Chain A
Amino acid sequence: MFDVEFLRKLEYLDVVARKILAGRIRADRLSSRRGTSVEFEDFRQYAVGDDLRYVDWNVFGRLEEFFLKLYREEENLHLTVLLDQSASMRFGTIDKFDYARQVAAAIAYIGMSNLDDANVHAFGPDVVKSMGRMRGKGKVRQMFDFLTALEPGGETDLKRSFRRFIGEERRRGVVVVVSDLYDVDGVMPALRYLKSRRHEIYVVHVTDRSEAEPALRGDLRLVDGETGAWRDLTITDALRKKYVDAFESHARGVEQFCRQKEIGYARAWTHVTFDELVLRILKRGGLVA
């Protein structure tokens, strides 16, 4: 999966990413937190205990009151890729999980090569496996090994998984969720929960054509890929159309929700190559805004 060709594509993406993100790497990324950088942000009245070094004496000379100058703190970007490893990801004419791993690897690689620290969390219903924060291209092989070792299984429970992630990663940053979002009722609460932690979130909705437009017809026993539960159904063309509409409605609902909550969203069709997808995401700028 992560062969030479894959690496070549990653290099290409990295070059393209550098052009797109030129001048905005590292120190250009401003933290929302106030700190000790040189970029002024605001004033506030002095309070007991404040560092006197930050008192604006010019203001004191004119107003005879103590005001502190506040500066925006500059920090490195914390990029986290949350990779869905539920059993449903093992579906599709092109394996969604393989595809998702490639996308995750590409995003992490770009982050790491730009001297940000990147991490990949693979989440399932009960477990969250973390690659650990890495920076620099030298850690790429480790990342690949981590991703290669992942084995999907279990159900999708986004909120539960995100809660575990928050528990482990308190630092704010950019969170890229790569998932098929097969938690129809739980996807929005989960994203809302993640957003509430002030992360910048980007959702990559991995979708395969075979699940968006399933070639099912007739009397079938449908087996759930995650739980193994089954149901006997007679798939009519009408029912199949309903399903297609429902699937599309679900995706559009998530997209609309993301737009409302200022969450980046990209539909990742497996028949679109991962590098093309990542490039599109980068060009759209959502991931690094």
Chain B
Amino acid sequence: MSFAAPAGIWLALVAVPVVVLYLLKIRRHRRTVPYLRLWERLVGERQFTTLFRRLQKWLSLLLQLLILASIVLAFAAWTLSDSFLKEESVVLVVDTSASMSGRTAPDDARTRFESAVQRARELVEGRSAEDRYAVVAAGAEPEVLQGFTRSTLRLREALDRLTPTRASGDLPGAVALCRDLLADAEHPVILLLSDVAGGSAPELAAADDVVRWLPVGRSTPNVAIRRFQVRRNIALGTDDLLLVVANESDEPRSVEVEIAVSGNLRTVLPLELAAREVKTEHRDLGAPVGGFLEARLVHPAGADGTPGADGLAQDDVAFAAIEPAKAFRVLLVTRDEAEQAPFLAALEALGPLIDRDETAGTTPELWPSLPPSTIAGYDLVVFVNEAPASLPATGRFLCLHALPGGLPARAAADEQAPQITELDRDHPMNRFLQERSLRPPGARPLDLTAGDVFLSTAGGPVGVVFDAPGRRVVYVGLDLLADLFFLQVAFPILLRNALAWMDEEATRMLEPTYRPGEPLRPRLRLPDDVREAEVGRATGLGAGDGTRERTIVPVRDGRFTFTDTQEPGRYWVRVGDRAYRTTVNLFDAAESDLTMPDAGGPVDPELERSGFLFGRDLWPILALVALGLWLCEWLLFHRRVTE
């Protein structure tokens, strides 16, 4: 038993005047009659001996006091305890994952989130007063919105704070969190208000007696973009597009995919998808463009011309990022101009990949005199047949048939007509290279103590990369100048591969895409002098709309973390004068599958337990009781005077 407004109990003091007035009321009035015996002969002794008659007046007072008690309890907001039945500690876990933004059902335009919150409100309003409730939002990161409380008001406020997210849910994590909350509870109950997305809810309910799943929504057809990615092919000088679209329904669907680059529609892909079909599309976007790409599913318009739609709008849009095309600046270090000429010719063959205006040549003798700023101005320094005793701490270097000092390697004896014995096909330096095309006249293998070998001959490693923070060095121990054909064919490929690998930093700094809510961290360590980075984002699923925000995040020890990635969209990080692009996409098949069990899921009868009296606001009932008692009192008096 509890009182929500204990001050109302003071109203009980009214009982004093009620009793006094009643006693005054029942005081008998004297009436003189001419002949009392006639009255006495009528009633005899009955009126004076019947217990009921004696108690009748006190029964009337009792009824009046009961009426007052009912009013007092109503004012005090009395709620009756049903603790003798069962006191439960209930955690309401409301799924706020992306799938909950989908339609509740084909014929119900409400989102599943809205339906879940509505159901949660009903549970809160109909709960037993003695039951403790807590509210947990099960988004990407489970969050306790309200700890255990018996206050309906607080629970309502917690439910009001619930917002749907565009991230994948973590129901197992939410259940684990609830388990921690329920560590000391005698009768723990975890209610999952969720759809079947990910399948975790029914599995969790099946695996744990404490967990009960309250299904939200019914099966709704949906088509989703599972993957959208653009990759630059430096070797070929093109951008390649990868698109994966899935039909998450049991009926065939026709859709079109609009591909836009930096807001400009580039192409439209019509897709016919069979039931449950996952279709993968590759497209060559042609010359590198750079920037953000957007893929958008367009559903057939309705018969009345209304725009087409499916169950979930979020997975109808996807974003991809690719760096703008770049012309590399190369410094050739050769012993003389004669040695330099074939290499310049080879660079010329690379076309727009090389910035001819900024490409230059020098000699080993002049190399030491070059200032560091000049060296840093080149994207790649190529040493041919002769390398310096030491390399700068930063920069990218391709060493051909010459091993610079300071590296964890030592040059072994030169090898004549070497045979390639090992070629790592997966290494980026070996892309497009064939073993049979590598028949150099001579090679200079290394004795290594560190380094990543991608090419070896019988004499030892002849292709090694040395990757250190701020400095990348590729050693190719083949004598390219000994064979002009080899120089003209193999060297451009090696150079392209070297540039691609060395420039990998630009695409490796951030993942191509992140999940909503996934922290955005640099994959590579930033220079020590960098203190802050600017993170920008353009979010919003609508074409051309959305918000653009910029946030300054601190950089410590070459690292930063940006966590506000709940919204899908375009993100970029600017460090100094360099910008790195990435995107946030759902790309979660589980969230996109809006199929629900036909039966609608189990219904727990105990959840419907909300006693008629227990845990409710009893004032309406008490008011009815008071009214009923008043009627009894009236009838009693009427019976007394009319019987």
Q: Which residues of A contact B (CB under 8 A)?
A: 88, 91-92, 180, 182, 184, 211, 214, 216-227, 229-239, 242-243, 246-247, 250
Contact = CB atoms under 8 A, between A and B. Distances in A.
A235 B28 CA distance: 11
A247 B42 CA distance: 11
Interface stretch (B15-23, B32-40, B607-615): B32-40
B34 A226 contact: yes
Contacts of A238: 642-643
Given A182-B35, A239-B43, A247-B38, A230 B30 contact: yes
Main secondary structure of the interface of B (DSSP, over half): helix
Given A219-B26, A238-B643, 15 more contacts: A211-B34, A214-B33, A220-B28, A222-B31, A222-B36, A223-B32, A225-B35, A230-B36, A234-B640, A235-B641, A236-B643, A237-B641, A238-B642, A239-B42, A243-B39
Contacts of A220: 28-31
B281 to A, nearest CB: 96
A246 B42 contact: yes
Nearest to A89: B34
15 contacts: A180-B34, A211-B33, A216-B33, A217-B641, A219-B28, A224-B33, A224-B36, A226-B34, A233-B39, A233-B43, A237-B641, A237-B642, A242-B42, A246-B38, A247-B38
Contacts of B48: 232
A177 B348 CA distance: 159
Nearest to B639: A236
A271 to B, nearest CB: 16
Contacts of A234: 47, 53, 640-641
B578 interface: no
A92 B33 CA distance: 9
B28 to A, nearest CB: 4
Interface of B: 26, 28-43, 47-48, 53, 57, 640-643
A243 B38 contact: yes
B581 to A, nearest CB: 95
Contacts of B30: 220-221, 223, 230
A223 B36 contact: yes
A230 B33 CA distance: 9
Given A231-B40, A242-B42, A224 B35 contact: yes
Contacts of B41: 184, 246
A225 B39 CA distance: 13
Contact of A231 (B39, B57, B641, B642): B39
Given A233-B47, A234-B47, A222 B34 contact: no
Closest 7 CB pairs of A and B: A224-B36, A88-B34, A91-B34, A182-B35, A221-B28, A237-B642, A225-B34
Nearest to B57: A219
Instruction: Tell which of A211, A225, A232, A233 has the most Cβ of chain B within 10 Å.
Output: A233
A69 B173 CA distance: 143
B34 A182 contact: yes
A216 B34 CA distance: 13
A238 B640 CA distance: 10
A35 to B, nearest CB: 45
B64 to A, nearest CB: 16
Contacts of B42: 239, 242-243, 246
A133 B121 CA distance: 103
Contacts of B642: 236-238
Contacts of B38: 184, 243, 246-247, 250
Contacts of A229: 36
A92 B35 CA distance: 12
A233 B46 CA distance: 10
Contacts of A239: 42-43
A223 B40 contact: no
Nearest to A218: B641
Contacts of A222: 31-33, 36, 39
A227 B36 CA distance: 9
Nearest to A208: B34
Contacts of B28: 219-221, 232
Contact of A223 (B26, B31, B37): B31
Contacts of A224: 32-33, 35-37
Instruction: Tell which of B30, B33, B42, B643 has the most Cβ of chain A within 10 Å.
Output: B33
A93 to B, nearest CB: 12
A211 to B, nearest CB: 5
Given A219-B28, A234-B47, A239-B42, A88 B35 contact: yes
A282 to B, nearest CB: 28
A226 B43 contact: no
A198 B48 CA distance: 46
Contacts of B47: 233-234
A236 B640 contact: yes
A24 to B, nearest CB: 38
B427 to A, nearest CB: 112
B222 to A, nearest CB: 78
Contacts of A246: 38, 41-42
Contacts of A243: 38-39, 42
A177 B186 CA distance: 94
A182 B36 CA distance: 10
Given A218-B641, A236-B640, A231 B36 contact: yes
Contacts of A223: 30-33, 36
A47 B28 CA distance: 76
B33 A225 contact: yes
A274 B113 CA distance: 95
Contacts of A218: 29, 641
B445 to A, nearest CB: 126
A275 B38 CA distance: 30
Contacts of A233: 39, 43, 47
A261 to B, nearest CB: 23
A243 B47 CA distance: 15
A53 B304 CA distance: 146
Contacts of B37: 184, 224
A196 B42 CA distance: 32
A225 B32 contact: yes
A184 B53 CA distance: 28
Contacts of B26: 219
A69 to B, nearest CB: 54
Nearest to A224: B36
Contacts of A226: 34-35
Contacts of B31: 216, 220-223
Contacts of B40: 231
A217 B637 CA distance: 12
A111 to B, nearest CB: 29
Contacts of B33: 91, 211, 214, 216, 222-225
A225 to B, nearest CB: 5
A242 B42 CA distance: 7
B298 to A, nearest CB: 86
Nearest to B642: A237
A246 B57 CA distance: 27
Contacts of B43: 233, 239
Contact of A221 (B29, B35, B641): B29
A214 B41 CA distance: 16
B115 to A, nearest CB: 62
Nearest to B40: A231
Contact of B32 (A91, A180, A219): A91
Contacts of B32: 91, 222-225
Nearest to A219: B28
B61 to A, nearest CB: 13
A237 B57 CA distance: 17
Contacts of A211: 33-35
A216 B32 CA distance: 10
A180 B34 CA distance: 9
A227 B33 CA distance: 10
Nearest to B28: A221
Instruction: Tell which of B31, B43, B642 has the most Cβ of chain A within 10 Å.
Output: B31
Contacts of A232: 28, 48
Nearest to B56: A234
